Amino acid sequence: MFHTEDFLKAFKPHRGDAIVVPGRGGKHWVNISDQPDLDLPLGDPAMGGHAAFAFGLALAQPKRKVVLFDSEGDLQMGLGILLTVAEQNPANFYHFVLDNECYATTGGQPVPNAKNVDYAMLAKGAGYPRTHSFTELDAVSAALPEILGKPGPVFVTMKVHADVENKPINERVRWRTRSWVQVVGDLQRKLGIAA
Amino acid sequence: MNDVLKKDELKAHLSPETVLGQLKQHGVTHVVWLPDSETNWLYLLMKAEPSLTLVAVPREGLACPLAAGLTAGGKVPVILVQNTGLMESGDSIRGWLFGFEVPVVFIVGMRGWNRHGPRTADTSPQYTEPFLNAFRINYYMVESDADASRISLAFEEAKKTRHPVAVLVGDEYHGFIR
């Protein structure tokens, strides 16, 4: 098990010009990334949709890699998206899951069957051609060139420590500095997409 | 007499070709959908249409973030679902469509609706319009080919307001079942 922030630091040199949807890793990624216009830190628009959003982006921009840092709680809410991704088979979609075994933003309650779910097996069963599971930072760091160097869709699940938050939402430090509309607008300008 | 009735029935149909024509007219690139029995013929047409990519989802709520992602990437999706699936999508509509100002059109099969309105044994149509009103989603009822311009209105309104807009397909009249 390792810290999300450490993994994101290890990922950064391998990013290239990929679009990154940092999911629950967003609060760390905004301080690590040096290409914010290609980042889509979304916070929590509606839980269960990060994978579908990032996958939609990958379909729309097939020539550019889209990297998603999903979470197991979000994925559990929308597991069916694995089937849709596998059917469409987007070669530019890289689906990482930060599995902290709990709902960290609501106080750390365990997700259903937290310690016994094999997410890589679920993805494999849904039809993802490549899947990986990691519990150690060194191992995933060493594998990143191969993971990102081959076509997607690829699914990578990692055990990470939970950053549990217990404060009421209104008392939490806001790490997002741009609204959802601004984030998308910045990306579209960067990619030359007319809004 | 029978011929007259037949002509009237045809007038009352909403043909899949009309819907497909509207999708093409408004530059739709992707149809994010979960089919119901009434839209199967439309499916066959869409599948044969090279300008459209069909993206099937196993639960309708997933269609909203998917459409938001497609729109962020510069594409033009529509969401084609049944009224039951529309209602299933509530929080995703709030967060992903209104939150991201996605100008997407829902095409919604009105399961259980007939010319007398929602008063059928199926409870789903009774809740559909109240649901849309609660979410402040404007909608247009389409029953026949003569109503095709309402589909255009929906696309234009979505683009102008940057909000989702719904087209409700009155089940009893459309010609999707052949």
Closest-CA residue in chain B for A181? B100
Does A187 sit within 8 Å of B74, measured CB to CB?
Answer: no
Tally of CB atoms within 10 A around A148: 18
Beta bridge partners, A94, equal A67, A154
Q: What is the pLDDT of residues B96-141, one digit of tens each?
A: 999 999 999 999 988 888 777 666 778 888 899 999 999 999 999 9
pLDDT of residue A23: 93
Rounded Cα–Cα distance for residues B86 and B80 (Å): 9
Tally of CB atoms within 10 A around B76: 19
Examine the pLDDT at B3 and tell me if it is beyond 70: no
Share of chain B above pLDDT 70, in %: 84
Examine the pLDDT at A136 and tell me if it is beyond 90: yes
Question: ipTM for the complex?
Answer: 0.96
Q: What is the mean pLDDT of residues A141-167?
A: 96
pLDDT of residue B80: 95
Does A87 sit within 8 Å of B96, measured CB to CB?
Answer: no
Query: Among A62, A72, A76, A58, which Cα is nearest to A20's?
Result: A58
For chain A, which residues lie within 8 Å of any Cβ of chain B, measuring from their own Cβ? 40, 44-61, 78, 80-81, 83-84, 87-88, 180-181, 184, 187-188, 191, 193-194
DSSP B46: H
pLDDT of residue B38: 64
The SS3 call for residue B12 is: coil
Q: What is the mean pLDDT of residues A153-160?
A: 98
Domain count, chain A: 1
Of A39, A50, A59, A176, which to mutate for an interface test with B (greatest number of B Cβ within 10 Å)?
A59
Q: At how many degrees (to 10) do helices A50-60 and B63-72 cross?
A: 40
Are A69 and A8 in contact, with CB atoms under 8 Å apart? Answer: yes
The SS3 call for residue B154 is: helix
Tally of CB atoms within 10 A around B9: 12
Q: What is the mean pLDDT of residues B43-69?
A: 95
Are A191 and A61 in contact, with CB atoms under 8 Å apart? Answer: yes
Are B77 and B26 in contact, with CB atoms under 8 Å apart? Answer: no
Which amino acid is located at A151 in the chain? P
Of B29, B66, B88, B135, which to mutate for an interface test with A (greatest number of A Cβ within 10 Å)?
B66
pLDDT of residue B5: 47
pTM value surpassing 0.90: yes
Domain boundaries, position A24: 4-191
Give the gap in angstroms from C-alpha A89 to the nearest C-alpha of chain B: 11
| Whole-number average pLDDT of chain B | 88
Q: Which of A53, A60, A88 faces B65 most closely, judged by CB atoms?
A: A53
With cut-offs at 50, 70 and 90, classify the pLDDT of residue A129.
Answer: very high
Q: What is the pLDDT of residues A36-74, one digit of tens each?
A: 999 999 988 999 999 999 999 999 999 999 999 999 999
Closest-CA residue in chain B for A50? B65
- Answer left, alpha or beta for residue B149, where phi above 0 means left and psi between -120 and 50 means alpha: alpha
Does B30 sit within 8 Å of A84, measured CB to CB?
Answer: no
CATH class of B2-176: alpha beta
- Tell me the C-alpha to C-alpha distance, in Å, between residue A143 and each of A9, A105, B32, B85: 14, 29, 34, 40
User: Which chain B residues contact residue A50 at CB under 8 A?
Assistant: 65
Q: What is the mean pLDDT of residues A77-105?
A: 97
User: Which chain B residues contact residue A187 at CB under 8 A?
Assistant: 72
Does B69 sit within 8 Å of A54, measured CB to CB?
Answer: yes
E-strand stretches of chain B: 30-33, 53-56, 77-82, 105-110, 139-142, 165-170
Q: Are strands A109-110 and A102-103 parallel, antiparallel or unpaired?
A: antiparallel
Query: Which of the two residues, A166 and B57, has the higher pLDDT score?
Result: B57
Query: Which residues, including other chains, have CB under 8 Å from residue A159's CB and lie 6 or more apart?
Result: A1, A2, A99, A100, A101, A134, A135
pLDDT of residue B178: 47
Closest-CA residue in chain B for A84? B57
Share of chain B above pLDDT 90, in %: 65
Half-sphere exposure of A170 (CA within 13 A, CB side): 0
Examine the pLDDT at B153 and tell me if it is beyond 50: yes
Query: Among A130, A136, A138, which Cα is nearest to A155's?
Result: A130
Per-domain residue ranges for chain B?
2-176
> Residue A173's domain is classified under what CATH number?
3.40.50.970
Measured in whole angstroms, the distance separating CA B36 from the mean position of its chain's CA atoms is: 12
Query: Which of the two residues, B125 and B21, has the higher pLDDT score?
Result: B21
